[in-house]
Structure 1
Amino acid sequence: MFQKFYPDEDVNSTYEIPFEDFYKKGIRGIIFDIDNTLVPHGAPADNRAKKMFLRLHELGMETCLLSNNKEPRVSAFAKDAGSLNYIFKGRKPGVEGYQRAMKLMGTNSSNTIFVGDQLFTDVFGAKRAGIYSILVSRIHPKEEIQIRIKRALESVVLYYYRKNKKMKQLKRS
């Protein structure tokens, strides 16, 4: 019932993702959400984000920011983080933003991954676009009211996702 919202995997932090392993598997593009995925909501790019993007680009990965925020927020973050590709007002969970991001990066759904902190916008949109999705834990609890409401609903889906994930792991053992 909730599977359409399940990420392909989940991790605590964007900064724990083994991007080198994904590169070895043929992944060449990464689409990122910004707020609460890379930095706290509304924060500028920090040194950790800047270093990560530099590392990804040195590895040979293309990157693109995909956000539902307005241009001033997204363009400022992209500039601070290292002149990244970006899409503002991405209309997630619609697939158009994901498709535009892949076009900017010169990738496709088979060699692109998405990293975000929300199920109903980030993960659901990536799944609809046929992109491997990684859900990360939100960085900071401060969020806009509409996001806090969605978080309550997400907690129900996450309960079933984690229960399903645990059952699969037990079956493999």
Structure 2
Amino acid sequence: MQNRILFLLADGFEESEMVLPFDILTRGGVKVSLASIHEDPYVEGAHGLTIKADALLSEVDLKLFSGVFLPGGGRGVENLRALEAVLETVRSFVSADKWVTAICAAPIVLALAGILHDKRVTSYPSTEADIRPYCKAYSNDRVVVDGKLVTSRGPGSAEEFGFALLSLLEGEEKMTAVKAGMVAR
């Protein structure tokens, strides 16, 4: 079965944290679907890039996906954390033993969903104090994998995060081939 990852998009998302993992995963054969958490499929990024989502979160059948991804961005994370449907989505993926992934400030949403108590995580440096009380261990590593939870630091680690996730989903060989094709380090 093809791996499918659901990207949750909220107004204010950090563009590079969404676009780089999207590009890497799709090049590696992972089906990525974009879901707007709003009632409008058009979602505006933190720096003005507007993306049309494939669907609204309210319309998505979560059972079709192997994992969920939450990009960061200050305003984007505020919007993600304010919606109970996002917290419930995260919890449902954990309950189904599926991948839960987040970058930058988005691990705050995972903390609010109550899923980090036994996990090692990382996040954007300024959010450490908000996340540390909710997790087992906090790390300053650029990408942290703990079971089926994958977290990363920020825009500068988005490519590394994308390759790590691709390796976990499709294997080291596929990741290496995609990296070579992109002339990435």
Q: Common fold, TM-score beyond 0.5?
A: no
* TM-score, normalisation: structure 1: 0.42
More strand by share: 2
Report 1 or 2 for greater relative contact order, CA contacts < 8 Å, sequence distance ≥ 6.
Answer: 1
